[in-house]
């Protein structure tokens, strides 16, 4: 006769265990919070369909991109829900600027081939919600991507079919296959964050016009549209103070001057600022502007030049003084901190941007800006020098080229060399080619010299400071050349002063 369950001592422990497990699972499921979907947490596959910078282009768009298309105004970029409170931004709200951080739209451009190497550091620094509200940021790439709550817009999703026939667009059409085959993964000895498909540089030029077109339509109430690339850093508090000097209703287009084919334009890597008045005069006046310049875009190599040319065609000239022949102004910086010249001319100028920044540089510049008291003054070139350059300067260091270039003395040109003003001993200056010691002495003999470098029989001197770079121990280049030796006269640099 079969025993009852409670009479079988072997079954009792098992029954207790099963009962306990069932109760645990029940309470676990009961207590779990419901998944909360942010209004901006759009599935990645829907992002490209939502991007419609040119409604007039719909006639020649592929049918697949029209199925779920929404007008630009319905796109809500950024990781924070629209009803979220705006974070406190004490270091951008200063008495030196009448502009608020909420008066701008930040246009951030990246690309699928570099996104995973360059962008993550920005999400916790330059794009952090403590610095700028996420609703004021538009993230653009050439493929839809999501990092946590951040959504990157495929800015090329509405490119016309005729442009897609260009060989420049091959990387764009191959991106899905590249990802589907998991070529980004750590297989075949390929680093997970290695560069993607080759050809991103040529593809990049097609982004500039649709980025600006979309930003102006998506954020029509912004006073300024500020452009930033993924290898740059913008000092927003400084830039807001600078832009407050200009009426945003007028057509202003500001940045670091560049020149191609007779067109002055803002260098993209340095960042630039476009006023609402400039947008209205160009993109606002012609909704078909992107398609109208497809041919010009295909024929030229740089997107920042293409944008500058188009703006000029619509009467928006580049620069703070568009009538001047020399439109160069310090502030927007096209170089990295180690390749930038620091001199008395820019020493006390405010800095608006830095280019060719690596992840570590972005973090350090963010730390410098975050700890700055902007109520006491703007960040200047000398402050970046103090933080990023000065700690690495030495009286003399081997296997280092600091880039001194203003004067060069060699054994084969010494008889023709003309010493600059301020040289105390011409003989000492002309003997600089003979040795490292002689080169250093030649720099000392010239009162304006602050750095020198020597290689074999070549002595270079300069009145500007540049950090440069060196060859580390273990590098094979040390086996194939003589050492560059460089030095700086730090005491002379220390005499450079600012009024305030």
Tokens 């040109």 — which residue? Answer: 413
pTM of the model: 0.78
The tokens for 45 are: 């596959």
Nearest to 111, CA basis, from 227, 218, 229: 229
How do residues 54-100 score in pLDDT, each as one tens digit? Answer: 333 332 222 222 223 333 333 233 333 233 333 334 444 343 568 99
Beta bridge partners of 272: 227, 255
Please check whether residues 16 and 101 belong to one and the same domain. no
Q: What is the DSSP letter of 424?
A: S
Q: Are residues 417 and 304 in the same domain?
A: no
Q: Do residues 54 and 22 share a domain?
A: no
SS3 2: coil
> Is residue 25 assigned to a domain?
yes
User: Does 124 share its domain with 194?
Assistant: yes
d(CA 462, CA 449): 5
Q: Which residues pair with 137 in a beta bridge?
A: 106
Q: How far is CA 398 from CA 303, 390, 459, in A?
A: 40, 17, 14
Please identify which residue in the block is written with the tokens 């040795």: 435
CA 86 to chain centre: 24
Residues 266 and 414 in one domain: no
- Give tens-digit pLDDT for 185-214: 666 665 555 566 666 677 889 999 999 999
Q: In angstroms, rounded to a whole number, what is the distance separating the alpha carbons of residues 328 and 379?
A: 20
Whether residue 295 is found in the same domain as residue 235: yes
Whether residue 54 is found in the same domain as residue 104 = yes
Q: How many domains does the chain have?
A: 3
Q: What are the φ and ψ backbone dihedral angles of 137, each rounded to 5 degrees?
A: -115, 135
Residues 219 and 285 in one domain: yes
- Per the structure, the complete domain to which residue 212 belongs is given by 48-79+93-313
Residue reference for tokens 């990802």:
179
326 within some domain: no
Nearest alpha carbon to residue 304 among 195, 233, 211: 211
The tens-digit pLDDT sequence of the chain (500 residues) is 444 444 444 554 455 555 555 554 444 343 433 323 233 333 333 333 334 433 333 322 222 222 233 333 332 333 332 333 333 344 443 435 689 999 999 999 999 888 988 999 999 999 999 899 999 999 999 989 999 889 999 999 888 888 888 888 888 887 887 777 777 766 666 555 556 666 667 788 999 999 999 999 999 999 999 999 999 999 999 999 999 999 999 999 999 999 888 888 999 999 999 999 999 999 999 999 999 999 899 888 899 999 999 999 999 999 998 777 778 889 999 999 999 999 999 999 999 999 999 999 999 999 999 999 998 899 999 999 999 999 999 999 999 999 999 999 999 999 999 999 999 999 999 999 999 999 999 999 999 999 999 999 999 999 999 999 999 999 999 999 999 999 999 999 999 999 76
Same domain assignment for residues 105 and 158 = yes
Q: Give, in degrees to the nearest 5, the angle at Cα 127 between 182 and 199.
A: 40
So what's the pLDDT on residue 18?
A: 54
Q: What is the mean pLDDT of the chain?
A: 82
Please, which residues bridge with residue 380 across strands?
350
């Amino acid at each position: 006769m079969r025993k009852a369950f409670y009479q079988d001592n072997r079954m009792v422990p098992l029954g207790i265990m099963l009962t306990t497990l069932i109760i645990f699972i029940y309470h676990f499921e009961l207590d779990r919070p419901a998944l909360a979907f942010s209004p901006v947490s759009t599935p990645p596959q829907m992002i490209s369909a939502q991007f419609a910078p040119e409604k007039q282009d719909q006639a020649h768009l592929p049918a697949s991109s029209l199925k779920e298309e929404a007008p630009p105004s319905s796109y809500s970029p950024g990781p924070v829900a629209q009803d979220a409170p705006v974070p406190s931004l004490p270091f951008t709200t200063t008495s030196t600027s009448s502009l608020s951080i909420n008066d701008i739209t930040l246009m951030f451009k990246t690309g699928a081939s570099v996104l995973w190497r360059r962008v993550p550091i920005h999400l916790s620094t330059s794009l952090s919600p403590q610095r700028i509200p996420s609703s004021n940021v538009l993230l653009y790439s050439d493929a839809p991507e999501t990092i946590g709550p951040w959504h990157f817009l495929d800015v090329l999703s509405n490119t016309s079919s005729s442009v897609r026939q260009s060989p420049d667009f091959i990387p764009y059409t191959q991106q899905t296959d590249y990802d589907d085959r998991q070529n980004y993964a750590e297989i075949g000895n390929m680093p997970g964050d290695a560069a993607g498909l080759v050809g991103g540089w040529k593809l990049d030029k097609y982004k500039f016009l649709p980025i600006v077109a979309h930003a102006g339509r998506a954020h029509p109430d912004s006073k300024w549209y500020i452009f930033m690339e993924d290898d740059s850093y913008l000092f927003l508090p400084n830039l807001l103070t600078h832009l407050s000097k200009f009426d945003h209703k007028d057509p202003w287009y500001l940045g670091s001057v560049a020149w191609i084919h007779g067109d002055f334009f803002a260098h993209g890597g340095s960042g630039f600022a476009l006023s609402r008045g400039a947008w209205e005069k160009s993109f606002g006046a012609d909704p078909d502007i992107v398609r109208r310049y497809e041919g010009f875009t295909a024929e030229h190599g740089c997107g920042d030049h293409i944008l500058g040319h188009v703006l000029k065609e619509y009467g928006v000239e580049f620069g703070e003084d568009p009538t001047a022949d020399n439109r160069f102004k310090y502030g927007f910086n096209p170089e990295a901190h180690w390749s930038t010249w620091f001199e008395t001319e820019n020493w006390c100028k405010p800095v608006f941007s830095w280019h060719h920044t690596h992840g570590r540089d972005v973090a350090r510049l963010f730390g410098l800006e975050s700890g700055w008291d902007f109520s006491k003054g703007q960040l200047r070139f000398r402050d970046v020098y103090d933080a990023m350059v000065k700690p690495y300067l030495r009286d003399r260091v081997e296997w280092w080229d600091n880039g001194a270039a203003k004067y060069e003395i060699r054994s084969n040109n010494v008889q023709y060399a003309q010493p600059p003003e301020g040289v105390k001993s011409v003989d000492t200056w002309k003997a600089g080619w003979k040795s490292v010691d002689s080169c250093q002495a030649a720099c000392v003999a010239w009162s304006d010299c602050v750095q020198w470098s020597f290689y074999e029989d070549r002595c270079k001197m300069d009145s500007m400071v540049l950090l440069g770079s060196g060859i580390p121990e273990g590098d094979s280049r040390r086996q194939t050349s003589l050492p560059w030796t460089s030095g700086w006269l730090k005491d002379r640099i220390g005499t450079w002063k600012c009024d305030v």
